[in-house]
Structure 1
């Protein structure tokens, strides 16, 4: 093993540097993975979400085991693994009540040092809670979607979708496309994508949207009623992290329906609604931060069964040397979905 490796390091939104970092050492119960591919997440463009800088980018890697620590018996050198970047624990109040991702322990558990680097360390707790050997039927690129779209699956679990319900998704970036694509697995009938980009709306059609609305060129509420027999949507999922999008989403929910908040607003951002309507509309507002081990397990089984067209979601591929350009494209957020970085060189098919 080499002692140093390349890593893409975030210093600021416009300052992504390729640096040499030490290859992490492993201890008992741990493994070292060679990074085969790593997706970039839109959350990494939220400056307020960064806890400290500088930071190695990426939390959506797929890796191959290159070293195993003492006592590791379930995994071997050469295994291709998905390991969730955060993992929970069983013995806590929040975990016992099913809120694994809100237990402070969850966010403290991280891959070392990140995903957009040549090698990363996985702790014994990661291996115990949320590590999976991937079958040959799941491509490495498809596997890159396990972490982000497991969050989608986790969110859909909160929405109480009933068979045949009309589901609307406000914001058709990569995560929005995931909600569009997976909603029918939860019983959705009509699936309506809303976005200001006609390019993203076209992609939503490819991922299963039965209808699309561009609020920039038409009245979204009138368009929803026109396509849905005069009714609004039973469930509305809002991905766009701006208060105006949340207002738009709320205006699209039918009485007795569900509004699911799929991404947070920046801290100290007020979101206010009419208190009288909040009582009489009987609209349930839900949210779900990240995904836990039950969600990733479910997603991997759906992926293996061919129910999810994950490969289609990969829009751009970059070598690690071009990480700054990959991140610029992520921030631009126009004609792109999932952007993948390859720390050991682009695959021949790319």
Structure 2
């Protein structure tokens, strides 16, 4: 029995952080051993919100950092294919063909599109951002992905893919699998400022590559209960980012439960709770730091993985495009024109 193929990935906009780990990477690490796993470096998607020359000039470095972070979290390079989206132009052709299988009102109902525009500081939605889910469908279906791990933000995008695939198959014949979504059970990690999810652009993130001192500084500066002006004032645990992080990253459940009880009773200060969180986070990150050091100790490893993975993926995508064009009749249309042109050329060359 063949192994199902998984497609996942990120935009190369900077180093990955704890929010990425909770929202997607932990799920990928658990899943990638079971599937033929493809990790897209989605730099074309990046252009929907970051498309200056300066942004694009950072793609190579950010891609390298991103892949390093994913490997450091525990993804086995022997069981994963990493590839650069923009190096496979055939994806753009599929995107163009798929655009005709979905309506503008359908795309306008995707909630995360508006959220992404807001996060990027855009008052109006660019055409490319509106079509983000269609390009994502091209990403998934170009390698005939059968499984897509998703966080809450991406589920609505993949639903568009799940509509496009059967619509194409109905119109032109069975070509694409309808991908299955595997949702992460972990809730979105709030930012250190308590304002929405953790995000690089908002400056409220803790990078997976952060050193111990940086982690401690970030934790000590975290938002807590604003009504708690002294340690002897009873505090609120619910919605408090410090305790949300303890729940996710501190394996000492007895300690966490004790902190919560004392916090509610006004018998512990914020600093003590934060210092314990910094210790827990650094213990969590230590194995990731060790793996990162080994990866960085092998010069050229990540670049080679990206190059080899991109070349393998492009071969597969080319085969998919040939199949798509044949199914749609586009190949036959051009062949008919060529045959007529050839007959006309021969006729013109034949003496009367």
Global fold match (TM > 0.5): no
TM-score by length of 2: 0.25
TM-score by length of 1: 0.25
Say which one has the larger Rg. Answer: 2
Q: Whose helix proportion is higher, 1 or 2?
A: 2
